[in-house]
Amino acid sequence: MYLSSKIPEFNSPYKIEEYKKRCTGKYLALIAEIDNQSVGFKIGYDRLNDGSFYSWMGGVLPKFRRMGVAYSLANFQEKWAAKNGFSSIVLKTRQKHDGMIAFSLNRGFIITKETQIVLDEGTRIWMEKSLNRQGH
């Protein structure tokens, strides 16, 4: 939770109650460290009960970007999800987060749906990656 408050793209980070609410069933929470300093995180859970694993939140502190941190976290999450019987990873991001969209597309995700949000932060982009493919 502390790390999410330090990610500049997150306008209003979730409170601990939201994490507790979402992480009650099957979930995975990861923290990346460099030299004993927490520099990134990734949290996901079984949201949709359809065989997919929902990659809910994640981020890397700006100073530690482009060092493979997000890539390592995503790799671990995908391998864990496959080992735990999930058939795909699903995520939702905002259209304004170009970096996240590009990162996900480069990892083999496809855009499955766009949800228009007028009053909030703009369009939400839903993406999915099958874990049954070679090379996950």
Q: Tell me the backbone φ, ψ of residue 41, rounded to 5 degrees.
A: -150, 160
Are the C-beta atoms of 77 and 45 separated by less than 8 Å? no
List C-alpha distances in Å: 116 to 70, 93, 113.
27, 12, 10
Mind listing the pLDDT tens digit for each residue in 97-134?
888 999 999 999 999 998 877 665 678 899 999 997 54
**Burial class for 104, CB neighbours closer than 10 Å (0-12, 13-18, 19+):** buried
- The CATH architecture assigned to 2-130 reads 3-Layer(aba) Sandwich (3.40)
**Residue whose structure tokens are 């790390």:** 3
- Global pTM reads 0.85
Confidence of residue 1 (pLDDT cuts 50, 70, 90): confident
Mind listing the pLDDT tens digit for each residue in 51-73?
999 999 999 999 999 999 999 99
Quick one: average pLDDT of 77-89? Answer: 96
**Hey, where are the domains in the chain?**
2-130
pLDDT of residue 134: 43
